[in-house]
Amino acid sequence: MYRSFFKPLFDRIGAFFAMLVLGPVFLVVAVLVRIKLGSPVIFSQIRPGKDEKPFKLYKFRSMTNEKDDKSELLDKAERMTAFGRKFRSTSLDELPELLNILVGDMSFVGPRPLLMKYLPLYNEDQRKRHLVKPGLTGLAQVMGRKVKRVIDRINEVQNSWSVQGFYDDADVTLPVGYPPLLGKIHDLRRIDRRLAAVLAIGNSHMRRVVLENIPTDLLDYPSLIDPSAIIANLQKSRKGLLVFASVVIMPELTVGDFVHINQCCSIGHDVRIGDFCTLYPSSVISGNVTIGKECEFGANSCILQNLEIASRVLVGAGAVVTKSIQEEGVAYVGVPANKICKS
């Protein structure tokens, strides 16, 4: 009753009053976008909603419509101005999504709506994100993380598995060939035999925290590599490594414990990756890169060669890192990537 009636009602009422209160902000932003970036002021794009039903998502535009000699749009990096990057960093470009909430296509809280082109890439678990309406704000804010964890909302689709609830509600999934173990983490303390398990949590920080709450003498964590992955060789492969479909890894990769390398990622030669790192789909790590512990790299992000990345660094989806990051616990977005916050 709550999910089917009251929550949609509260969402629509909230969106209506939010649009009234934020009316002056809408007007000022629209004028600035028109002056700085041109028209149309509103950008729309088809995204998958609840039950994978397409809907038209509305946002303020954040790029120009500059074209080349053949009247084709330039690359996104060339159309993104300094104003556009700053505008996106404030999230004010998301305000028109209140209209999507008002008409019932979205909710205030839910998984962020990704692109239609990702639908064929989802596995059965990933499709569960479409059992609910997409949200204006996502899991990162609901769980109270700081701004650096907001990047997670962009990458929620990239999580190969999801966590139902908080730490003690995380499921532990066993590889094929082992009897299923159903229950919660605290139930493991009652198991009197040693098991092999996959720590099926996409978020790097949460993966580490959950592991700290599991008795170390109960579980073994094998490395699982999809048969379609192309791997020259692993210089050092430790426990809990997950490599997904269509990954390409060049020679001499050194990787720590509990690293997740999602589908279609590409890793160059002589790369060193620390414990608990997560590479989301289509991430590119160029050759001779050193990465600290608990880092996360958003979908389609790129790290150029010969760089060093400190621990607990988050790189947003589509970002291109062109210089080493020495400061720990920071988030970078954009092309080229710039720091937006520190924990």
Q: Supply the pLDDT for residue 1.
A: 59
- Assess whether pLDDT exceeds 90 at residue 246: no
Q: Supply the pLDDT for residue 16.
A: 92
Residues 53 and 172 in one domain: no
Residues 202 and 276 in one domain: no
- Assess whether pLDDT exceeds 70 at residue 73: yes
Active-site residues, by number, are 269
149 lies in some domain:
no
What is the pLDDT averaged over residues 50-71? Answer: 89
18 lies in some domain:
yes
What is the pLDDT averaged over residues 195-215? Answer: 76
Q: Supply the pLDDT for residue 342.
A: 62
144 lies in some domain:
no
- Assess whether pLDDT exceeds 70 at residue 188: no
Q: Beta partners for 137?
A: 109
CA dihedral 191, 192, 194, 195 (to 10 degrees): -30
Residues 13 and 102 in one domain: yes
- Assess whether pLDDT exceeds 50 at residue 172: no
pLDDT tier at 152, thresholds 50, 70, 90 = very low
Q: Supply the pLDDT for residue 168.
A: 33
Categorise residue 43: left if φ over 0, alpha if ψ from -120 to 50, beta otherwise. Answer: beta
- Assess whether pLDDT exceeds 60 at residue 184: no
295 lies in some domain:
yes
Task: Name the nearest CA neighbour of 258 among 237, 282, 232.
Answer: 237
Q: Beta partners for 56?
A: 46
Residues 28 and 102 in one domain: yes
Find the CATH number of the domain harbouring 244.
2.160.10.10
Show contacts of 144-151: CB within 8 Å, 24+ apart: 146/341, 146/343, 147/331, 147/340, 147/341, 148/314, 148/329, 148/330, 148/331, 148/340, 148/341, 148/342, 148/343, 149/205, 149/314, 151/296, 151/298, 151/314, 151/315, 151/316, 151/317, 151/331, 151/333
What is the spatial order of strands in the sheet that 253-255 belongs to?
234-236, 253-255, 272-273, 290-291, 308-309
Residues 6 and 126 in one domain: yes
pLDDT tier at 252, thresholds 50, 70, 90 = confident
The domain total for the chain is 3
Instruction: Look up the domain containing 195 and give its range.
Output: 167-220
Spacing of C-alpha 114 from chain mean position: 10
Most confident of 112-126, 137-151, 175-189, 241-255: 241-255
CA distance linking residue 180 with residue 16, whole number of Å: 47
91 lies in some domain:
yes
- Assess whether pLDDT exceeds 60 at residue 135: yes
What is the pLDDT of the chain when averaged over all its residues?
A: 78
Are 323 and 341 contacting, i.e. CB atoms less than 8 angstroms apart? no
Residue carrying structure tokens 């979908």: 299
298 lies in some domain:
yes
Residues 84 and 125 in one domain: yes
What is the pLDDT averaged over residues 30-37? Answer: 92
- How does pLDDT run across 288-306, given as a tens digit for each residue? 999 999 999 998 899 999 9
What is the pLDDT averaged over residues 105-133? Answer: 81
- How does pLDDT run across 302-318, given as a tens digit for each residue? 999 999 999 999 999 88
pLDDT tier at 124, thresholds 50, 70, 90 = confident
CA distance linking residue 333 with residue 317, whole number of Å: 7
